[in-house]
Structure 1
Amino acid sequence: MTGGSVRGPGTPGADVPVHVELRTTDVEEARAFCRKLYYDPLRIEPVGDPGRFDFRADVVELGPITVGEVGYGTDIRISSGGLETAYHVLAPLTGMLRSRHRGTVVLADPTRAVVYRPTGDIELEWPGTCRLLSVKVERTALERELDAALDQRVVSPLPLGASFDVADGPGRTWVALVRLLLAELRGPDGLASQPRMAARWRDMVVSGLALTVEHPYGEEPAGLQGPYRPRTVKRALDVMHAEPWRSYTTRDLASVAGVGIRVLQDGFRQHVGMSPMTYLRRLRLDGVHAELSRTDPGGVSVSEVAYRWGFTHLGRFAGAYRERFGVPPSATLRGRA
C-alpha cells in the first residue's frame, strides 16, 4: 500500500500545484481520499471481486481545478448528491463507464466524456477495466469563463450538455491538454510546475472546457462564435431569455430586433450557430429539464411543466426532449424520486 504524497509548498486553491497520489487495497482509505479531494458525501461500494480492489489515483490540485487519473481495479458503484460547488468531467482512458445524472444515462468511453452539473444526484457503474481522467472545475471559475466569452450573463448552474466527443475536434484537444498538464505537474522540474506557468495552464483548461462542452448559447462552441454579437441578435436573445414561454414567431423576433426576417436568420446562423426558433426550442427544453429535475414527482405533471414553458403540442415536445436528453421527460421527473 502506498500512502498519499504531496509535492510542492503550495496549498489547494493557490496557483502552486499540489500533487497527491494514493495506491491502496483498503476501501475505507480510498473513500476517505476521494471525499477529501472531491465531494462529501460520496458513496463508493465494490460490487465486483473485493479481492481485486486496487485503487490508484494520481491527482493534482491547481487553484480552481483538480485533475487526476483514477481507477479501482474491480467493479464499483458510486453515488453522490448534487456537486453544488463544481462542474465535473470524467473521460475514460480505458473501458466504459455507465453514468446516470439528472435523468440522463451516458455510456462514457475513450471516445466520449460525461459532464456533471452542480445539481442532481449522480450514479456511476464503474468497471474494474475503466481507468479515467477526472477533471473537477470550481463552479464560479467555469461560469465566469463562459460569461466572459459572451455578451450576455449566463444562468447558474450552466445548462451544459450531458457529454461531449473526445475522439475528434475540440474535445480531443482538450483531453490531450489535460493529460499533458497532469504529466507536467507530476514531475518536480517541469515548466508547468512554476507558479506563473501553472496559472496559465490552469486557465487554458478552464477556458478550453468552456469552448468544448455543449451549452444552449450556440450550436458551435462559444470560442468559434466570436465574443461579440450584433445588437440585433442580442435584442432577440434578450427577449427570448426574458419570456421563453411566449409564442414567438420569427417575424415577432425580427420586429423586436428591428430587421427583416432573413437578416435576423443570417445573424443567428453566423453568431449563434442555429436559427432563432431552434435556439428558442432549446432554451425551452433546457428550462423544462431543469424544472423536472428539481420537482417532486407527486407535485406536478410533465404536461403542466411543458405547457408552462410554451410547448403546446405534447407529442412533438416529447420527441424533441428525448432527442436532446436521451430519455423521455417522465424519466427525468421520476429520477427525482
Structure 2
Amino acid sequence: MVGGLEIRPDAPALFSLATTDVDEARAFCRRMFYGPLRVDPVGDRSAFAFRADVVSLGSITVGEISYGSDIHVAIPDLETSYHVLAPLTGMLHSRHRGTVVLADPTRAAVYRPIGDIELDWPGSCRLLSIKVERGALERELDAALDQQIVTPLLLGDSFNVIDAPGRTWVSLVRLLFGEVLSGNGLSGQPRMASRWRDMVVSGLAMTVEHPYGEEPAGMRGPNRPRTVKRTLDAMHAEPSRQFTAADLATIAGVGVRVLQESFRQHVGMSPLTYLRRLRLDGVHGELSRSDPWQVNVSEVAFRWGFTHLGRFAGAYRDRYGVTPSQTLRERR
C-alpha cells in the first residue's frame, strides 16, 4: 500500500498511445520497455503514425506496436530481460549477436539479455513485442529441465509460429492481450491473470529454440553454478534487503572473489550490479503503473532498497533516460 493506493503486480495494467510525434513515441517505448532504446525515422517522416497498446502483468510486458513509416531501432544489452518480436504484418530485419533474422508472420525473433540489437522496421510491419523478465524465464527452464542451465540462456535467434508449439504460444499471448484490451474478461481477475502470465512464461520456455537440436537436453551446455543460482534466488526473493558482497558470498557458500568471477562469467555483471539493476527495474515498473497523485518517488525508492536518493536518481536517469519523477508524471 502506497499513499492509499494498493499496488497489485498480478493485476494487468493497460497503456495506450497514438501519436505522430516521434519524441512522444520514443519516450513511451522507453517507459514501457527499455530506457536506452533509440527510435529514429528513416527518410520521410510525413507518414509517421505511432500506435501502441501495451499490457504490463508482473514479469511480462506485451505490446502491439506499429509506426506507420520506416524506422530504425537500436537497443543496447537488455540485461534483465529476454524478448520476442512476432510480426503480425510485414517483415522485420533484425540483427543481434552477429545474427540476422528476417521476422515475419511465419517466424518470431528472439533476443537474449546480452548483445546489442538493431532493427530495420518498415511502416508496413505491425508486431507483438513480448518482454519476459530474465529471472522468470531462467527459473522456469531450470525447473522444467530439472538440471543446471547456462545463463544467459543459450536460446536460438528465432522460432516458427506457423506450427505448434510456436503457433500455440503466440495464440496464447494474443488471447491474453485481447482479453485485457476488452476489459471485461477473466484476465481482470488477479488470480486468473497471474496464471495466464505463468502460462506465457512456461509456454515460451517450452517453445523457444536453442542451438543444440530438438531435445530439451540440448540446453545443458556449461553448467550454471549452484552458487550463482542461490544468490540470484536470494536477491529476487528480497530485492530491498541491504545485501553486501560478503552477505551474498555467505549465501553462495564461497568467497567474495569467487562469487564475483562466477557472476561475471555466467550473468555478465557483478552480483551488486545485478542487484542494483533489479531494484531499478522494480522502481521503474512501479512508477510506470502508479497514480502520481498517490505515490511518492522517495517512498518507492526506499521500499526497493535505495537509501541514498541522489545516487538512486542518477542511476535511474542513466538507465532509463529520464528522472523518476518524469516517469511518474507521465502517468497523469
Q: TM bucket by the smaller chain?
A: 0.5 to 0.7
Alpha-carbon distance, 1:76 to partner: 0.1
Alpha-carbon distance, 1:84 to partner: 0.4
Amino acid aligned to 2:209: E
Amino acid aligned to 1:36: R
Matched, 1:58 2:53: yes
Equivalent position of 2:115 in the other structure: 120
State TM-score, norm by structure 2. 0.63
Deviations 1:265-319 (A, max 9, x none): xxxxxxxxxxxxxxxxxxxxxxxxxx9xx9xxxxxxxxxxxxxxxxxxxxxxxxx
Identical-pair percentage = 68
Deviations 1:114-144 (A, max 9, x none): 0000000100000000000110000000000
Alpha-carbon distance, 1:10 to partner: 6.8
Unaligned runs of 5+ in 1: 1-8, 226-232, 243-290, 295-337
Matched, 1:165 2:167: no
Matches within 5 A, 1:321-336: none
Alpha-carbon distance, 1:215 to partner: 2.5
- In the alignment, the residues of structure 1 paired with residue 204 and residue 6 of structure 2 have an alpha-carbon distance, to the nearest angstrom, of 25
Alignment length (residue pairs): 220
Equivalent position of 1:25 in the other structure: 20
Are the equivalent residues in 1 in contact too, given 2:155–2:209 (CA < 8 A)? yes
- In the alignment, the residues of structure 1 paired with residue 31 and residue 6 of structure 2 have an alpha-carbon distance, to the nearest angstrom, of 17
Matched, 1:34 2:24: no
Deviations 1:180-224 (A, max 9, x none): 10000112221111100000100010000000001257623x4xx
Equivalent position of 1:107 in the other structure: 102
Equivalent position of 1:72 in the other structure: 67
Are the equivalent residues in 2 in contact too, given 1:54–1:73 (CA < 8 A)? yes
- Structure with larger Rg: 1
- In the alignment, the residues of structure 2 paired with residue 202 and residue 77 of structure 1 have an alpha-carbon distance, to the nearest angstrom, of 30
Measured on the aligned residues, the alpha-carbon RMSD in Å equals 2.1
Structure 1's consecutive aligned runs of 4 or more residues displaced over 6 angstroms after TM superposition are: none
Are the equivalent residues in 2 in contact too, given 1:10–1:17 (CA < 8 A)? no
Matches within 5 A, 1:151-162: 151-162=146-157
**Alignment CA distance shift 1:115-1:10 (3 Å):** farther
**Alignment CA distance shift 1:168-1:44 (3 Å):** same
For the residue of structure 2 that corresponds to 1:215, the secondary structure is coil
Which of 87, 97, 119 aligns to 2:82? It is: 87
Matches within 5 A, 1:111-150: 111-150=106-145
- In the alignment, the residues of structure 2 paired with residue 75 and residue 208 of structure 1 have an alpha-carbon distance, to the nearest angstrom, of 32
Unaligned runs of 5+ in 2: 224-264, 269-332
Matches within 5 A, 1:263-302: none
